[in-house]
Amino acid sequence: MEGLVALHALDVLHKMTSLPFAIIGSMLPAFSLAYGDDVRNEVAVVDRPEEDYVNICGHEFDREGGGYSTCAIDLNADGREDRMFANSGTSGTGGEAATIYLAREDGRFTRIGTILHQALVTEATETGGRLLHCTSNGGGGHSSITTYLLSHEGLKMIKKLNGEWNDPQYGKHFDTVFATPLKPNYQFVAARPKSNAEPVAGGKRR
């Protein structure tokens, strides 16, 4: 299985790096997780993705008025709604880190990893797999397109291309890749509803 994935990854790399415009491409191990040792990238089968996400990421929004954003979306085109969760403080509109849970046949979910994304699109492979293309803006006119292989075995980063918005050929490639982007419908979930009480001396509320 890994050999087939590696061969497909090399085929994807060949197609992407044959582009004529100036892009800095960095080849990453085909089996690496998106963010190394981050617990969000530890593959796990869970019954309730909401509870799992709060258990591992709750410290990021553990404050009054804090919460997270989530959406249901079929990422791997298997007819089942997968789930994505993001810290709404930085990712309420899908602009930053989002943790992916793929739906399973038995009704449970597989936590497969975390991505950075603004625009998002999927693509079928010739072997029946599914690629996920994500874009992220780094500021100062910088942009990147990262490609992952979606799998219940984990989120595999295959390729990352860095470009500049002032490069017309990069812009053309970007428009081609994201011609029909997915539109995750993130909804806010309040983890700790904000109190309407006014603060008093000592930081306590009435």
Q: Does the global pTM surpass 0.85?
A: no
Per-residue pLDDT reduced to its tens digit, 156-188: 999 999 999 999 999 999 999 999 999 889 888
Q: Looking at residue 99, what is its pLDDT?
A: 93
Q: Looking at residue 136, what is its pLDDT?
A: 85
- How far apart (Å, rounded) are the C-alpha atoms in residues 92 and 94? 6
Q: Is 168 helix (H, G, I), strand (E, B) or coil?
A: helix
Q: Looking at residue 69, what is its pLDDT?
A: 87
Question: Closest Cα partner for 153 from 13, 9, 41?
Answer: 41
Residue 137 burial class via C-beta count within 10 angstroms: exposed 0-12, middle 13-18, buried 19 and up: middle
Per-residue pLDDT reduced to its tens digit, 116-154: 888 899 999 988 899 999 998 877 889 999 999 999 999
Per-residue pLDDT reduced to its tens digit, 66-80: 788 899 999 999 999
- How far apart (Å, rounded) are the C-alpha atoms in residues 16 and 93? 28
Six-digit token pair at 71?
């959406």
Six-digit token pair at 24?
């800095």
Q: In what order do the strands lie in the sheet with 109-116?
A: 44-46, 109-116, 97-103, 82-87, 67-73, 187-190
